Amino acid sequence: MKYCENILETIGDTPLVKLHRVTAELPCTVLAKVEFFNPGNSIKDRMALKMVEEAEKKGYLKPGGTIIEGTSGNTGMGLALAAVIKGYKCIFTTTDKQSKEKVDILKAVGAEVIVCPTNVLPDDPKSYYSVSRRLAQEIPNSFYVNQYDNLANRDAHYEQTGPEIWEQTEGKITHLVVATGTGGTITGTGKYLKEKNPNIQVWAIDSYGSLLKKFFDTGELDMNEVFPYITEGIGEDFVPQNYDMSVIDHFEKVTDKAGAVMARRIAKEEGIFIGYSAGSAIAGLVQLKNRLKPEDVVVVVFHDHGSRYVGKVYNDQWMMERGFLDVKTVKDIVNSRRNLPLVTIPPDEKVSGAIAKMKKFDIEHLPVISDGQFIGAISEGGLFSKLIDQPDLKEAAVDTVMHKAFPVVGMETPIEKLSVYINKENGAVLTHDESGNYHIVTKYDIIQALGS
Cβ neighbours of residue 383 under 8 Å, at least 6 residues apart?
351, 354, 355, 401
Does 360 qualify as catalytic in the annotation?
Answer: no
For every residue of 202-256, DSSP letters joined together read: EEEEEEBTBSHHHHHHHS---GGG-------S---SS--TT--GGG--EEEEE-H
3-state secondary structure of 121: coil
Phi-psi region of 362 (alpha: psi -120 to 50; beta: other; left: phi over 0): left
Residue type, position 323, single letter? G
Please tell me the distance from the alpha carbon of residue 190 to that of residue 184, in angstroms, as a whole number: 10
> Please, are residues 258 and 280 in contact by the beta-carbon 8 Å criterion?
yes
- 316 secondary structure, DSSP code: H
3-state secondary structure of 260: helix
Pair type for strands 365-370 and 373-379: antiparallel
In 119-234 the beta strands, taken as DSSP E runs, fall at 142-144, 175-179, 201-207
Pair type for strands 428-432 and 438-442: antiparallel
Pair type for strands 29-34 and 297-302: parallel
Q: Which of 33, 44, 213, 312 is an active site residue? A: 44
Please tell me the distance from the alpha carbon of residue 46 to that of residue 147, in angstroms, as a whole number: 12
Alpha carbon separation from 221 to 210, 215, 224 (Å, rounded): 11, 6, 9
Residues labelled catalytic: 44
